[in-house]
Amino acid sequence: MAAADPRVLRDILRPLGLHTIRAARLRRFSEEYLSKQWSCPSQLHGVGSYAADAYHIFCRGRWRQVQPADKDLRRYCEWLAATGRSLAAGWRGGTEWCEGLNMRATHVLSCCLDW
Helices (H), the chain: 6-13, 19-35, 49-54, 71-83, 105-112
Beta carbons within 10 angstroms of residue 73's beta carbon: 20
Which residue type occupies 76? Y
Choosing from 5, 11, 53, 70, which is the catalytic residue? 70
CA atoms of 46 and 37, how far apart (whole Å): 16
| Residue 114 is among the residues annotated as catalytic for this protein | no
Active site residues: 70
